Structure 1
Amino acid sequence: MPRSSVTKTTKALTQSLRTQATTLGTTLGAFWLTFVVNSALGGALTSFGIIPRSITGLRGIVFAPFLHGNLNHLIANTIPFVALGWMVMLRDARHFLPVTLFSMLGAGLMAWTFGAPGSVHIGASGVVFGYLGFLLLAGVYTRSFGSILLSLVTAGVWGGLVLGIAPGQVGISWQAHLGGFIGGILAARFFRKR
């Protein structure tokens, strides 16, 4: 391979990695900044979460992923968000935003429809489960070697998260987890021929 081709490939790869890091870093920065502001306001922003079967609670579909109840909640979402979000971008960086939106919509609508009365659903875990659903099923739908390999790696490393879509621990929004997971699967199906 000529030296100029290697240089162009290296530059393209470097630019791609820089864009991915910027995208994930900016989103995480928004999560952490929102957490700091919400903490300073005594949790006042939590009312922007998903409130089941309330018209104003629908705004939580957009805002809930940026809101977290405490530092442990935020850290628990940060690590898989970065890992799985980056894996979505590795598959195809152009899919990151649409998969995120599918996941937010699925998580939000499921929590809004099936959440307990008077509850407020917050956190980025619905989006995380959307990435998981997308990555697990993308290989099945596209049937390309790279996508299948990425699906297998995802299943091996993060497959245990699937247990989080079942009702279980009090205070954990399994509805958002399930909805995000379904949203991710729908995104994988949507992009199967693209």
Structure 2
Amino acid sequence: QTDFGAFGIYPRTTIGLRGILFAPLIHANIQHLISNSAPLFLLAVLILYFYPRVAVRSLAMIYVLTGVAVWLFARNVFHIGASGVVYGLVSFVFWSGIFRRNLKSIILAIIVTFLYSGLFLGILPNQPGISWESHLLGGLAGIITAYWYKEEIEADENSEQAKLEEQEPEQSFFLNRDVFEKTKTERSREQQERGW
């Protein structure tokens, strides 16, 4: 049986640099893999849907920043797993809404925070065998990324809104627009005046 843990991040060593690329792909066991895969997939889909212009760059930035930060600042043990990236994605969604003061993004941030509220315990150094540094530093990478792309996200949303306003078709309705504003007698009188 091969131990892929050696391909994780080992802080401040040359051999540990490869972990920046490989650590999020390596997991201790199947349970570890599953517990990271579901939120990683959901958050990636959310970011791709709500922030399409910066999604791929944001995901890459969080991935790399988390790895580099763990390599620079974490304890001298091997760090593996995608949970640091997951924390980064949660943090990105949350802080993107806060930095831009955008109602849609804030609501999305509240939903994500509610779904992953248990994650906040993961940044505390209280569980053996858990890389709390990856969690904390991934969260910080998400904050940095949200701040870095806030203006580009804002510009993208403004241009989308302008396109929607330009393309609004003239609407036709089954009932008259004033159907609830006038009585039947008033509408009948109005039709007689028009000669209907």
The one-character-per-residue Cα deviations of 1:163-187 (angstroms, maximum 9, x if unpaired) are: 2112121111111111111111111
Q: Which residue of the partner structure matches residue 81 of structure 1?
A: 40
State the 1:104 CA deviation: 2.0
> Following superposition of structure 1 onto structure 2, how do residues 149-160 of structure 1 map, counting pairs within 5 Å?
149-160=107-118
Shift in alpha-carbon separation, 1:152–1:167, aligned structure 2, 3 A: same
The reply to whether residue 175 of structure 1 matches residue 168 of structure 2 is no
SS at match of 1:167: coil
| 1:93 has 2:52 as partner | yes
Post-superposition CA distance 1:130-154 (Å, at most 9, x none): 0011011111111222211111111
Question: Could you say which residue in structure 1 is the equivalent of 2:12?
Answer: 53
Which residue number corresponds to residue 190 of structure 1? 148
Give 3-state SS (helix, strand or coil) of 1:123's partner: coil
Q: Secondary structure of 2:134's match?
A: helix
Give me the TM-score of the superposition, normalised by structure 2: 0.72
- Alignment CA distance shift 1:192-1:60 (3 Å): same
| TM superposition shift of 1:190 | 0.9
Q: Secondary structure at the match of 1:53?
A: coil
| Alpha-carbon RMSD | 1.5
Matched-pair identity in %: 38
Q: Which residue of 2 aligns with 1:145?
A: 103
Considering fraction of residues, name the structure with more helix: 1
Q: Distance in 2 between matches of 1:103 and 1:165?
A: 17
* Paired residue secondary structure (2:126): coil
How far 1:46 sits from its partner (Å)?
2.5
Contact 1:102 1:130 in 2 (8 A): no
Alignment TM-score, normalising by the size of structure 1? 0.73
Aligned to 1:122: 80
Bigger CA radius of gyration: 2
Q: Which residue of 2 is the match for residue 102 of structure 1? A: 61
Query: What is the match of residue 132 of structure 1?
Result: 90
Looking at structure 1, the residues matched to 68 and 126 of structure 2 have their Cα atoms a distance apart, in angstroms, of 20
> What one-letter code is carried by the residue in structure 2 that aligns with 1:86?
V
The 10-residue stretch of structure 1 (119-128 or 82-91) with the greater mean CA deviation from structure 2: 82-91
Could you tell me whether the CA contact under 8 Å between 2:9 and 2:70 is conserved in 1? yes
Q: Please tell me the residue identity of whatever aligns with 1:129.
A: Y
Question: How many corresponding residue pairs?
Answer: 152
User: Unpaired segments of 5 or more residues in structure 1?
Assistant: 1-41
Residue type at the aligned position of 1:193: E
